[in-house]
Chain A
């Protein structure tokens, strides 16, 4: 269940963000607030600045103007990184011959935290995370031998093994077939509702909006819509994006 905004904590705040690359504006005056319990889809065509926005929120890029607060702090001062999970767009573009088992992939994040973790605690955390994403039977399989959908579930396990409060995903279903996409989104929906995990998903696939999301933001250099799922459906935001000739994946439901 999503908490009412008035009672829920604000996890992320973005104000007046400007970012340009090579003199070309990528983001212009973007302001956004993400509340605990949100399942927010940031929709936009390719090249609309979605990935850049995520990277600025996470502190991987610095904005030209404006500011970000991650759990109330600027990203550069935010050290409780275990509260944040991130699955980048290129997560599945790793070297397919990389010699890492599924277990090692999940453990690498657990062991990279600020606190030391004992081997039994690590085993338990890895097992619970892999069970949550229904991948426990593959724990000893080399990551490169899994399908795209299975790899994405392992990366979610890697992120949730550290018990984050918010999970960022950048185009997570690229290269995942339609049936596994549904399964993947169902998993995210479950984590959001039962696991009380705030989810921010960046995509150009509008199909996700009808199914699982409770908030929507539309971005194309500027943020031209940010509201609830119902507000999005009754607004002209989707039509506006389509009318703009932007490349979006549309689904009929």
Chain B
């Protein structure tokens, strides 16, 4: 425990990790109920192609990746609407393409190195102070968006047609949620890696949804599970000398498993 107070890099890792985890968990509850569990996984693969493109053209890889992910998120939304694909099909098609293009671009640019791989697996212990601030701002933005549109998001997730008839601008809010997810995934990927971002979008939310009776409780439980996974996971990684991102995901799964035993019955 002393190490947490002693080492600034651990404090930064906890701070940024908790912020990203909470943002992902809150969005994740809506995404899971919208049957969009794989959107984080898909967008992170597409964002990887954006990073590779940025490295190739030697322009800010993060900014290029963000633009690519936002366009892809809106494209997936459009594809689901107009092509009549099921959610997962559109995501699978785009994510496979994203990864393939990413590998090709990385190879052409000759940047298939450790810096690229850090986006895949993250490097939470090497987080800079500025990245902690970025994570906090991102988490704040997601929480504000969710708080402002909380009831509209819940209404359209529960009964889309009734919400639309009641005047909820469902397509604009779809786009807002897609863009928020894309931004979360890209910023999170830089800090915790593709593996952890996708896991944060699904596992804590799944834990909240299987436990809670009320919607608000599901969001709260997801946020607590995500935060606890970061803190406990980082401590375990430090003590056992395991990779941080992998350990955090395993811990979140273990918490999910414990809550599964105490899940509410249908």
Measured CB to CB, the residues of A under 8 A from B are: 55, 58-60, 79, 81-82, 84-88, 90-91, 94-101, 104-105, 107-114, 142, 144-145, 155, 158-159, 162, 168
Contacts and interface: CB of A to CB of B under 8 A. Distances in A.
A58 B155 contact: no
A70 B266 CA distance: 40
A134 B245 CA distance: 51
B172 interface: no
Nearest to B265: A145
B162 A88 contact: yes
Given A90-B161, A100-B154, 20 more contacts: A59-B165, A60-B161, A84-B166, A86-B161, A86-B165, A94-B159, A96-B266, A98-B158, A99-B209, A101-B214, A104-B216, A107-B151, A109-B166, A110-B151, A111-B152, A112-B151, A112-B168, A113-B166, A144-B266, A155-B159
Interface string B201-232: 00000001110111111100000000000000
B164 A112 contact: no
Contacts of A108: 151, 154-155, 158
Given A108-B151, A108-B158, A142 B213 contact: yes
The interface residues of chain B, by DSSP majority, are classed as: helix
Contact of B167 (A81, A87, A88): A81
29 contacts: A60-B161, A79-B167, A81-B166, A81-B167, A84-B165, A85-B166, A86-B162, A86-B165, A86-B166, A88-B159, A91-B159, A99-B212, A99-B213, A100-B154, A100-B158, A100-B214, A101-B213, A101-B215, A108-B154, A108-B158, A111-B151, A111-B152, A112-B152, A112-B155, A142-B213, A155-B159, A155-B162, A159-B162, A168-B165
A161 B247 CA distance: 48
B57 interface: no
B158 A105 contact: yes
Contacts of B159: 88, 91, 94, 155
A107 B155 CA distance: 9
A123 to B, nearest CB: 14
Contacts of A97: 209-210, 266
A98 to B, nearest CB: 6
Contacts of B163: 112
Contacts of A58: 165
B3 interface: no
B258 interface: no
B215 A104 contact: yes
A94 B155 contact: no
Given A100-B214, A104-B154, A112 B166 contact: yes
B126 interface: no
